[in-house]
Amino acid sequence: MKGHEFKTYGDFWSHYLGEHSRPATRWLHTVGTLASVALIVYLVATRRWLWLPVALVPGYGLSWIGHFFVERNTPATFGHPLWSMISDFKMVALTLTGQLGRK
């Protein structure tokens, strides 16, 4: 992903989907993202602020398993962290609603 320059988010999104072409990768992202969000909500609700960094583990861990072992590519977050985060939530939403194949 490093070295790729995108002029628009739309260009990045198209590339992002290509880097997440296999259903297993998409579902690993979905499970990891939802687990991280749930953990963040729990930690905030219970005021366990020091544990917040731990909430990143399921999200990044499962996503990276998908990239390194399923897709065999480099995670987009290494080169484009903000657009990657936005795209991850978009991909998760589209996956959960069954709309990803249409986008």
pLDDT in tens, 21-77: 999 999 999 999 999 999 999 999 999 999 999 999 999 999 999 999 999 999 988
Measured between alpha carbons, how far is residue 99 from residues 80, 92, 102, 103 in Å? Answer: 24, 10, 5, 7
For residue 43, give its domain range.
Answer: 24-102
In the predicted model, is pLDDT for residue 5 greater than 90?
no
Range 3-8 average pLDDT: 81
Tell me, what's the pLDDT at 101?
72
pTM score, two decimals?
A: 0.88
Determine, yes or no, domain membership for 78: yes
Measured CA distances, 92 to 5, 8, 23, 41, 80 (Å): 24, 21, 12, 18, 18
51 located within any domain: yes
Do residues 83 and 9 make contact, with C-beta atoms less than 8 angstroms apart?
yes
At residue 1, the pLDDT reads 43
17 occurs within a structural domain: no
Residue 5 lies in a domain: no
Distance, in Å, from the CA atom of 1 to the CA atom of 94, rounded to the nearest integer, reads 23
